[in-house]
Amino acid sequence: MAGTPEASITGLIRVQPEDFQVEEVLGFEPDGQGEHLWLWLEKRSANTHWLAGQLARWAGVAPMAVGYAGMKDRHAVTGQWFSIHLPLRQAPPEPLAVEGVVERARSWHSRKLKRGSHRGNRFVITLRDIQGDLPAAQRRLADIAAGGVPNFFGSQRFGHGGGNVDQARDWLAATRPARLPPARRGLLLSAARSWLFNQVLAERVARGDWNQAVPGDCFQLDGRGSWFGPEADISADIQTRVENGLIHATGPLWGKDEPATALAVQALEQAVADAEPVLSQGLARFGLRQERRALRLLPQELAWSVDEGGRTLQLSFQLPRGAFATCVLAAFCTVHDAAAGGGPGDRLSTDD
Residue span of the structural domain in which 162 resides:
149-297
Confirm whether 60 is domain-assigned. yes
pLDDT, one tens digit per residue, over 212-264 is 999 999 999 998 888 999 999 999 999 999 999 999 999 999 999 999 999 99
Let me know whether 277 and 167 are in one domain.
yes
Let me know whether 32 and 98 are in one domain.
yes
Confirm whether 352 is domain-assigned. no
Confirm whether 319 is domain-assigned. yes
* 352 flagged as catalytic: no
Peptide bond into 230 cis (omega under 30): yes
Let me know whether 162 and 282 are in one domain.
yes
Concatenated DSSP letters of 146-206: HH-EE-PPPGGGG-GGGHHHHHHHHHHHSSSPPP--HHHHHHHHHHHHHHHHHHHHHHHHH
Confirm whether 265 is domain-assigned. yes
Half-sphere exposure of 263 (CA within 13 A, CB side): 12
pLDDT, one tens digit per residue, over 283-323 is 999 999 999 999 999 999 999 999 988 999 999 999 999 99
Looking at 73, 217, 222, 346, which residue is catalytic? Answer: 73
Tell me what percent of the residues of the chain surpass a pLDDT of 70: 95
Indicate the pTM of the whole model: 0.89
- Which residues touch 163 (CB under 8 Å, ≥6 apart)? none
pLDDT, one tens digit per residue, over 202-213 is 999 999 999 999
Domain harbouring 223, CATH code: 3.30.2340.10
Confirm whether 181 is domain-assigned. yes
CB 57 within 8 A of CB 6: no
Q: What is the spatial distance between Cα 107 and Cα 306, in angstroms, rounded to a whole number?
A: 39
Half-sphere exposure of 20 (CA within 13 A, CB side): 26
Domain harbouring 320, CATH code: 3.30.2350.20
Per-residue pLDDT at 5: 56
- Which regions in the chain score pLDDT beneath 50? 2-3, 342-352
Domain count across the chain: 3
Let me know whether 277 and 168 are in one domain.
yes
